Chains A and B, each alone.
Chain A
Amino acid sequence: MIAALLLLCAAALLTAPHVLVRIERLRRSPRAALFVWQALSSSAVLCLLTAAPIAWLRPRPLPSVPEALVLVVATIASIGVLARLLINGHNVGRRIRAARDEHRQLVDLVGRHEGAHTRVLPSERLSAYCVPGAGSRLVITEAALTALPGDQLAAVVAHEEAHLRERHDLVLEFFTVLHTATPRPLRTDAALREVALLVEVLADRAAREDVGEVALGRAIVSLSEAAARTDLTPGVSAGTGAAATRIRLLVADDPAPWQTLVLYVICAAALVVPPTLVTVVVR
């Protein structure tokens, strides 16, 4: 039963996030690690989506009891996944874009315009962020502009520009959709946090190239101190302890070449193995 095999593959892949969040050394090769995350999740989704069509594709006049069982499970799984993905994809995308639009209008009104897409908010809190998507904005507060020395400011800007340039928001949106589409007992918040952290590390890498480890590290320290002082930011994103982790990763040893290679092999395997298994069984 191929469909049963696909369901097993999907079940195996669903455990992947629980394993991946534990392997901290993956953070040293954030790009490859994100590819692994994406490949494993896409593969799980594909297995689930194709299970029902394949189960129905080879109907026998009278399916045996186990076959009928697989047929039912596969159908429920495929339709369920399809529906949840479509609905959540639509909702998440709509909510995110509406929130960004509203926010962009707000910062355009209250912020000082520095060039086409930079806005300086008259706030006394140290903060910097970007609003990605069409009509992206780089937002920084007046307080951050005055308090941060030039090199730290350059680090912050380089970090945010990297987010915008490399469209990290799309990666996060992909995983947010998958996360919300996954039934609550099966998903783990740690997975989403880890992906968010990897995205930050990726932007840190780009900023590090521009300004160096020290300036970027100091910028993270400055903003951590400011955040700890106000402590207003709701619990979001890469999570507590993320700042220290990011600083440690600035000077962590580069990953061994084989590590990156292994990760890309895993990516390929995740996408190749399930279809291969299916073809082998068909013969």
Chain B
Amino acid sequence: MPTKASLGDLEQAIMDVLWADEAGTGLTVREVSDRLTGRDLAYTTVMTVLSRLEVKGVTTRERDGRAWRYRPASTRESLTAQAMRSPLHDLSSADRQAAILHFLSEASADDLDAVRTAMADVEAKGDRPRRRRGRGAADSTG
């Protein structure tokens, strides 16, 4: 019974296998299956996920005799770079800040002085004792 989360896990594991393929000639469904260590998956499951990934545009495939060979459409680095940019690229700044909530969305070198001055004050004052509720007693004494 694949749940939604486990499908995501599987897609990720399969992409890992494809990215790890140094030869760059692409892998067949069988080869991907064999390299998915620790998972006992039906051939058809792997095939389904691979074609899903191809539909999404993250893998490409080409014929090799009777089998398809799958390759990642882009490197993990470039996809990561895209993730670090997106979904920022085609949204207005107003939309952007509602779409994704950053811990800290911007700081320039000019801000740093003010940041450090403010932090010096926090360090001087220290934690207020009434905080830290909700954590284990061992945690706060340890």
Interface on A for B, CB 8 Å cutoff? 92, 95-96, 99-100, 102-103, 105-111, 113, 116, 121-123, 125, 127-132, 135, 141, 156, 159-160, 163, 168-169, 172-173, 176, 179-180, 192, 196, 199, 203, 208-214, 217-221, 223-225, 227-228, 231, 233-245, 247-248, 250-251
Contact = CB atoms under 8 A, between A and B. Distances in A.
Given A109-B79, A122-B76, A247-B115, A213 B100 contact: no
B84 A213 contact: no
Among A109, A127, A132, A196: residue with most chain B CB under 10 A: A109
B101 interface: yes
A203 B102 CA distance: 11
A237 B106 contact: yes
Nearest to B132: A212
B106 to A, nearest CB: 5
Contacts of B77: 122
Contacts of A102: 86-87
B97 A196 contact: yes
Contacts of B91: 95-96, 99
A196 B122 CA distance: 23
B111 A224 contact: yes
Given A106-B79, A109-B15, A224 B100 contact: no
A35 to B, nearest CB: 18
Contact of B115 (A92, A103, A243): A243
B11 A163 contact: no
A184 B94 CA distance: 13
B100 A131 contact: yes
Contacts, number: 217
Interface stretch (B30-38, B40-48, B61-69, B123-131): B123-131
A244 B117 contact: yes
B131 A109 contact: no
Nearest to B90: A99
B55 to A, nearest CB: 12
A160 B95 contact: no
B8 to A, nearest CB: 4
B119 interface: yes
A149 to B, nearest CB: 15
Contacts of A173: 98
Contact of A251 (B99, B116, B125, B134): B125
B25 interface: no
A109 B103 contact: no
